[in-house]
Amino acid sequence: MSLVEVEEANPVMASAPIAPYNSSPLGNSSSPNASRESLKMEPLADVAMLPGEERVIDKDIIYICPFNAAVKGKVFITNYRLYFKNTDSEMPVTLDVPLGVISRVEKMGGASSRGENSYGLEITCKDMRNLRFALKQEGHSRRDIFEIIFKYAFPLSHGMQLFAFLSQEKYEENGWNVYEAMEEYRRQGVPNSEWRVTFINKNYELCDTYPTILVVPYKATDEDLKRVATFRSRCRIPVLSWFHKENHAVITRCSQPLVGMSGKRNKDDERYLDLIREANGTTKLTIYDARPNVNAVANKATGGGYEGDDAYQNAELVFLDIHNIHVMRESLKKLKDIVYPNVEESHWLSSLESTHWLEHIKLVLSGAIQVADKVSSGSSVVVHCSDGWDRTAQLTSLSMLMLDSYYRTLRGFQVLLEKEWIGFGHKFASRIGHGDKNHADQDRSPIFVQFIDCVWQMTKQFPTAFEFNERLLVVILDHLYSCRFGTFLYNCESARESNNVRAKTVSLWSSVNSDTSLYINPFYTPESSRVLYPVASMRHLELWVTYYIRWNPRIQHQQQSPVEQRYKELLVLRDQYLKKLEELQLSDSTPSSTHLTNSSTPNAATPNQHITHLQTPF
């Protein structure tokens, strides 16, 4: 839905009858074979519990629904979710909120508060919504529910385990096997005469936030790597992310050099970057610094900095002007203010512009396009920001998505996330705050959400280029917060290994790959050599309405594209015709073919007549 369509839809929002309200995230339904052994109370409304999920408390409560006013009902709290179902209204109102989504729980009003429904709880969520509940003002009626929600929403702050470690879900597919580093590098065409695999980081001794398997220039020795690590922030040395099979240009990623105020130099680092350049004979190595120039200069004061022309004479430095994690956090907060609970109608476009969210999306996409274009033309690049785990991950993964059609498949996209985000140490725990009560932590930031938004923008501009659909993107973001799976837990591979995440939790990809039909784009047309260059201009970017405004019941009913729905119906019809044709051809080759053909359709249609139906282009 475009911005104009939202604006046109807003007057309808004020007058149309309100549909039944259901606030359940996509992909958050329980598995059909979920265990109910732990249920000692009444059945949990209409929801099957997950294996390992246990009931904690039920309570009569009033949900102050921003769309349906106050609704009486019952709230059920488990060790995984908050579930509310109304009891006093003809129209069903339900909430199904994984506790991992909760960012903040506050008490609303006091014992002496006046006014209806002024005493209760206010819950701030990480997924663009807030919840308010009211209780009776007598005998500290909210104390128990407040303490239980606070405890189970923030288990790490209370010495408890995240739900992913308690879950007993079982799937035939093991999602942890989706990504194998060596297999992926071989697919790209490395190792080769220019690039080699090193296991210097097998015990995380070189860099504790990098994966164990790294690909580096063939001519660089392990001793060289150790010396370069001393001059890069967090020891995050330049390593290969992607290799272009035809022109041998590469995308490498790292952190900022430790230049400092005195303008330090490191001959090993300078020579190492030259080895990257020489690997495919690039005339000048392009270094993309994701930061605004002024920020990169300011980082010198804290010991960081950027590659100066005098030290790196065979390199060209380009600043991409993408702002830091704090700017992105404030931008998304502003966006939430104008879309929840109601869309700001009177000045929609100016309100949206004031959030700068689409402006940031544009800058990230624009940077990735520059990286992809440079590599496509045969020049190798180095990408970094400050520490190389936020903006760097956005730029490398988006440019790889543009250059390599494999990453645009359902399986390939999972590999891309595992490699560039999870493997290379995007700080999911710090940015999302899994199980942590410190909602004001300055490390929180929607960097990964912003990346998924950029992917969505690309799927809108190239609707046939991606094997996966929008539903996959929404499910990924839902489980970024839910703590149901181990995929996005912890800050880096070494932390996941020390917490035995692979053995003790289930991968999100186990769930996704157990029913891939839910996530397939029916318009997908494979094109192996096509490079995608999205248009990164404000006129071509849209607000992702079906994610950011999905809790509004009027938006919920517009989520299914009529074109996509019709296309799916036609595909089903085609399958029916093919099945009928198969039956007719089979019957034609048997002795009793005449009888079977006559009985297969009322008009005794021949196989040839059915074939003409199949020639209709869907």
Q: At 466, list the tokens.
A: 């991606």
Least confident window among 3-12, 15-24, 58-67, 202-211:
3-12
Q: What type of residue is 83?
A: Y
Which of 1-5, 31-35, 303-307, 577-581 is most confident?
Answer: 303-307
pLDDT reported for residue 408? 98
Distance CA 339, CA 555 (A): 11
Under the banding of pLDDT at 50, 70 and 90, the label for residue 558 is low
pLDDT tens digit sequence for 243-254: 999 999 999 999
pLDDT exceeds cutoff 60 at 311: yes
State yes or no: pLDDT of 37 exceeds 60: no
pLDDT tens figures, 139-182:
778 899 999 999 999 999 999 999 999 999 999 999 999 999 99
CB 36 within 8 A of CB 57: no
Containing H/E element for 12?
helix 3-15
Give the per-residue pLDDT at 137: 80
> Could you give the 3-state DSSP secondary structure of residue 68?
coil
| Residue 91 or 66, more confident | 66
pLDDT bin (cut points 50, 70, 90) of residue 588 is: confident
- Under the phi-then-psi rule, with left for phi > 0, alpha for psi from -120 to 50, and beta for the rest, what region is 503? alpha
Q: Which residues contact 182 (CB under 8 A, 6 or more apart)?
A: 197, 213
Tokens linked to 177:
């096997």
CA geometry: angle at 424 spanning 104 and 245, to 5°? 140
φ and ψ at residue 51, rounded to 5 degrees: -60, 125
In this prediction, residues 373-387 reach a mean pLDDT of 98
442-469 core/surface letters (b: 16 or more CB in 10 A; e: else): ebbbbbbbbbbbbbbbbbebbbebbbbb
Note the pLDDT tens digit of each residue in 383-406: 999 999 999 999 999 999 999 999
Question: pLDDT for 92-140, tens place per residue?
Answer: 889 999 999 999 999 988 766 777 788 899 999 999 999 999 998 877 7
pLDDT digits (tens, 9 = 90+) for 233-277: 999 999 999 999 999 999 999 999 999 999 999 999 999 999 999
* Three-class secondary structure assignment of 32-48: CCCCCCCCCCCCCCCCC
DSSP classification of residue 588: H
Q: Could you tell me the pLDDT band of residue 617, with boundaries at 50, 70 and 90?
A: very low
DSSP secondary structure string, 219-280? T--HHHHHHHHTTBGGG---EEEEE-TTT--EEEEE--B--TTTT---HHHHHHHHHHHHTT
Among positive and negative, which fits the CA dihedral 189, 194, 200, 205? negative
DSSP track, 438-479:
-TT-TT---HHHHHHHHHHHHHHH-TTS-SB-HHHHHHHHHH
Higher pLDDT, 342 or 533: 533
- Average pLDDT (409-436) is 98
**Stretch 1-20: mean pLDDT:** 39
Nearest CA to 497 out of 212, 287, 219, 221 is that of: 212
pLDDT averaged over every residue in the chain: 88
> What amino acid occupies position 443?
D
Residue the block writes with tokens 């019957």: 587
Mean pLDDT for 182-206 is 98
C-alpha distance from residue 380 to each of 177, 281, 374 (Å): 30, 9, 7
> What would the pLDDT profile of 512-531 be if each residue is shown by its tens digit?
999 999 999 999 999 888 99
Give the separation between CA 331 and CA 338, rounded to whole angstroms: 11
Residue 92: the pLDDT is: 85
CB atoms within 10 A of CB 224: 18
Q: Cα 95 vs. chain centroid, distance in angstroms?
A: 22
Strand ranges across the sheet with 55-65: 21-23, 93-98, 81-86, 69-78, 55-65, 130-134, 120-125, 102-108
* pLDDT of amino acid 46: 67
| Residue 129 CA from chain centroid, whole number | 18
**pLDDT given for residue 570 in this prediction:** 82
pLDDT of residue 43: 55
Whole-angstrom CA distances from 367 to 293, 363, 445 are 14, 6, 20
The Cα–Cα gap between 407 and 21 comes to: 36
> How large is the average pLDDT for residues 477-481?
98
To the question of pTM greater than 0.85 for the whole model, the response is yes
The DSSP output letter for 378 is T
> Which residues line the annotated binding site?
324-325, 385-391
Over residues 498-518, mean pLDDT? 97
- Which pLDDT score is estimated for 24? 67
Q: How far is CA 204 from CA 190, 200, 609, in A?
A: 22, 8, 67
Catalytic residue numbers read 385
Residues making up the binding site for substrate: 324-325, 385-391
Please give the span between the terminal C-alpha atoms of the chain, in angstroms, as a whole number: 24
Lookup result for tokens 């517009």: 558
Does position 4 have pLDDT exceeding 70, yes or no?
A: no
HSE (CB half, 13 Å, CA atoms) of 596? 15
d(CA 529, CA 322) in angstroms, rounded, equals: 29
